[in-house]
């Protein structure tokens, strides 16, 4: 059934290399799930510079979700500088996500272990308790940074005229 | 433009108010879920929107100020009733002919293409189609009129999960292509989140909460903390629902401004299911950010 929709709107465009799925029980908003899946696909190399994201209509049909949700996810990715929208053509991957350097990772890790984790353990939390607390705080944190996002300046990737839309 | 705007709308049947004091402003471009318990007035409200019921009190307009039910409105609004309104004795093809003759601007090619895509045979009698296929046929007939506003009363009730998915997929892809606005009523709260971006929650004939779902979720939290501090914390909040379990208390609360919670209190974001259920359980709680704007607009005219 779904193949038919794709054929009827396909117009021979390139097949996208990301397949979305939704976990209704994750508690993560739908659009954020899409964003994370694209980010992961870029990180893992399934999506590379110049690849096209699935057309909004195709995502809408395959997941039966609100088109605005997909639009919001793609705008979010655009703001992060990961993809670029080319009206009439589609949305294309423009850059790999900025990876955090090893020295920063080491510092972050150290401050987590010697600081917060030690404090949590001293307060009497076991591993499961720490994980539960961290997960809920992280969810809260990402929700809050969501609200703040419009004020933050989006990181822009300059698109070279030849490479982007090709 | 507001696709639906109502002011003090009320409908009474033999002295009982099925809908009361309903003031709404639904902006265009949304997929609106209309939620409420049985008998809350959902169908009555939808019937007012499409002009099948005349109000007892107040006023209602659609698509930027057109009187609901007027010929102009009927041309631009499509409605699929709860029991898909089809002639069951005739073939699908004949049903298309009937619809083409009854409606102006009926795009028969579009309807036939849609039905072919769904493998619905034109020669079969409508009554012999499966429930999902009948729902699809009713939807195809409604969409063939290229409506600007599509109104669906319980489109998913009585459908199996696959048929639900396929019906919603058709609605969503039409929204993506044509940008129409959709209002649908539903009991299936768990499926709203993927589909709807705007919520109208009704109870006992009144509108209890209206707004963009993102907004509503951002304004509410689930708070939990020690019961002995519950009262003082509750004083600073608008509590929708509270549950006490011994030493722990949990609130579903509405925040009209960001606030700091005292130590020991955990604030977590709320899911749409939780939010809807909390309000359904507390019919007297009301969160009405929207209608105030309408009221001031009216005053200014």
Q: Print the domain residue range for A13.
A: 2-98
Query: Could you report how far apart the first and last alpha carbons of chain B are, in Å?
Result: 16
A12-21, A33-42, B5-14, B213-222: which range is least confident on average?
A: A12-21
Q: Does A5 touch chain B (CB under 8 A)?
A: yes
Same structural domain, A64 and A133: no
Tell me whether residue A124 is in a domain: yes
Could you say which of A60, A80, A98 is where a domain stops?
Answer: A98
Residues 6+ apart with CB under 8 A from A42: A48, A82, A93, A96, A97
Same structural domain, A38 and A110: no
Tell me whether residue A165 is in a domain: no
In this prediction, residue B194 carries a pLDDT of 82
In this prediction, residue B267 carries a pLDDT of 85
* Contact criterion met (CB below 8 Å) for B209 and A41: no
Same structural domain, A120 and A54: no
Give the number of other CB atoms < 10 A from CB of residue B134.
22
Give the number of other CB atoms < 10 A from CB of residue B76.
17
Instruction: Report how far residue B47's alpha carbon sits from residue B22's, in angstroms, rounded to the nearest whole number.
Output: 14
Give B190's contacts in chain A (Cβ within 8 Å): 24
Q: Which of A135, A76, A24, A145 lies closest to B218 in space, CA to CA? A: A145
| Tokens, residue A52 | 């096209």
For B236, phi and psi rounded to 5 degrees? -90, 0
Mean of the pLDDT values across residues A47-75? Answer: 90
Q: Does A2 touch chain B (CB under 8 A)?
A: yes
Could you say which of A53, A72, A98 is where a domain stops?
Answer: A98
At A82, which CATH number? Answer: 1.10.10.10
Average predicted confidence (pLDDT) for chain B: 87
Same structural domain, A85 and A149: no
CA B282 to chain centre: 19
| Residue A103: HSE in the Cβ half-sphere, 13 Å Cα cutoff | 0
Same structural domain, A124 and A77: no
Same structural domain, A35 and A48: yes
Tell me whether residue A128 is in a domain: yes
Same structural domain, A18 and A65: yes
Same structural domain, A88 and A105: no
In angstroms, the Cα distances linking A25 to A22, A29, B191, B193 are 9, 10, 12, 11
Instruction: Report how far residue B24's alpha carbon sits from residue B202's, in angstroms, rounded to the nearest whole number.
Output: 12
- pLDDT band for position B90 (50/70/90)? very high
Mean of the pLDDT values across residues B204-220? Answer: 90
Same structural domain, A122 and A74: no
Could you say which of A58, A73, A98 is where a domain stops?
Answer: A98
Closest Cβ opposite residue B176 in set A2, A62, A67:
A67
Give A75's contacts in chain B (Cβ within 8 Å): none
Identify the residue among B32, B139, B176, B220 best suited for mutation to test binding to A, counting A beta carbons within 10 A and taking the highest: B176
Same structural domain, A146 and A73: no
Tell me whether residue A94 is in a domain: yes
In angstroms, the Cα distances linking B140 to B144, B170, B196 are 6, 9, 20
Same structural domain, A86 and A15: yes
* Contact criterion met (CB below 8 Å) for B86 and B126: yes
Give ∠ CA B265-B267-B271 in degrees, rounded to 5.
150
Question: Which pTM does this prediction carry?
Answer: 0.75
| Interface predicted TM-score (ipTM) of this complex, two decimals | 0.72
Tell me whether residue A54 is in a domain: yes
Tell me whether residue A56 is in a domain: yes
pLDDT in tens, B116-158: 989 999 999 999 999 889 999 999 999 999 999 999 998 888 7
pLDDT in tens, A63-107: 889 999 999 999 999 999 899 998 888 899 987 655 666 677 788
Same structural domain, A110 and A81: no
* Contact criterion met (CB below 8 Å) for A97 and A82: yes
- pLDDT band for position A125 (50/70/90)? confident
Q: Which of B174, B274, B258, B161 lies closest to B218 in space, CA to CA? A: B258
pLDDT in tens, B31-44: 999 999 888 899 99
Q: Does A8 touch chain B (CB under 8 A)?
A: yes
Domain count, chain A: 2
Give the number of other CB atoms < 10 A from CB of residue A141.
10
* Contact criterion met (CB below 8 Å) for B2 and B64: yes
Tell me whether residue A166 is in a domain: no
| Tokens, residue B271 | 């899911």
């Amino acid at each position: 059934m779904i193949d038919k929709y794709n054929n009827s709107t396909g117009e021979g465009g390139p097949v996208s290399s990301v397949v979305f799925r939704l976990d209704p029980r994750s508690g993560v908003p739908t659009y954020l799930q899409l964003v994370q899946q694209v980010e992961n696909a870029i990180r893992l190399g399934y999506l590379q510079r110049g690849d096209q994201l699935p057309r909004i209509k195709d995502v809408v049909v395959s997941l039966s979700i609100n088109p605005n949700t997909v639009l919001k996810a793609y705008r979010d990715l655009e703001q992060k500088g990961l993809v670029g929208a080319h009206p009439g053509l589609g949305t294309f991957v423009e850059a790999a996500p900025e990876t955090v350097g090893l020295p920063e990772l080491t510092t972050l890790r150290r401050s987590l272990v010697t600081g917060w984790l030690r404090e949590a353990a001293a307060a009497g939390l076991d591993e499961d308790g720490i994980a539960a607390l961290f997960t809920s705080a992280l969810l809260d944190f990402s929700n809050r940074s969501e609200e703040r996002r419009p004020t933050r300046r989006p990181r822009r990737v300059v698109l070279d005229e030849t490479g982007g839309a090709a | 433009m507001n696709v639906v705007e109502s002011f003090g709308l009320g409908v009474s049947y033999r002295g009982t108010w099925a809908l009361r004091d309903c003031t709404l402003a639904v902006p265009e471009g949304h997929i609106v879920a209309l939620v409420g318990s049985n008998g809350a007035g959902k169908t009555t409200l939808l019937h007012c929107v499409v002009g099948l019921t005349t109000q007892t009190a107040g006023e209602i307009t659609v698509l930027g100020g057109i009187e609901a039910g007027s010929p102009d409105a009927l041309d631009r609004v499509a409605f699929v009733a709860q029991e898909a309104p089809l002639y069951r004795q005739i073939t699908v093809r004949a049903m298309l002919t009937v619809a083409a003759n009854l409606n102006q601007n009926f795009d028969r090619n579009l309807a036939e293409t849609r039905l072919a895509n769904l493998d619905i045979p034109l020669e079969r009698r409508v009554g012999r189609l499966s429930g999902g296929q009948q729902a699809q046929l009713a939807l195809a007939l409604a969409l063939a009129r290229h409506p600007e506003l599509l109104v669906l009363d319980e489109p998913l009730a009585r459908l199996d999960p696959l048929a639900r998915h396929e019906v919603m997929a058709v609605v969503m892809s039409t929204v993506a292509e044509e940008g129409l606005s959709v209002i649908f009523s539903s009991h299936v709260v768990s499926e709203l989140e993927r589909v709807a971006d705007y919520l109208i929650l009704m109870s006992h004939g009144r509108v209890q909460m209206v707004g963009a779902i993102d907004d509503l979720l951002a304004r509410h939290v689930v708070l939990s903390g020690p019961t002995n501090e519950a009262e003082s914390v509750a004083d600073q909040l608008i509590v929708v629902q509270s549950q006490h379990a011994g030493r722990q208390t949990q609130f579903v609360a509405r925040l009209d401004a960001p606030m700091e919670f005292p130590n020991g209190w955990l604030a977590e974001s709320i899911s749409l299911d939780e939010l809807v259920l909390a309000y359904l359980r507390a019919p007297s709680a009301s969160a009405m950010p929207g209608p105030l704007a309408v009221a001031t607009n009216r005053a200014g005219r």
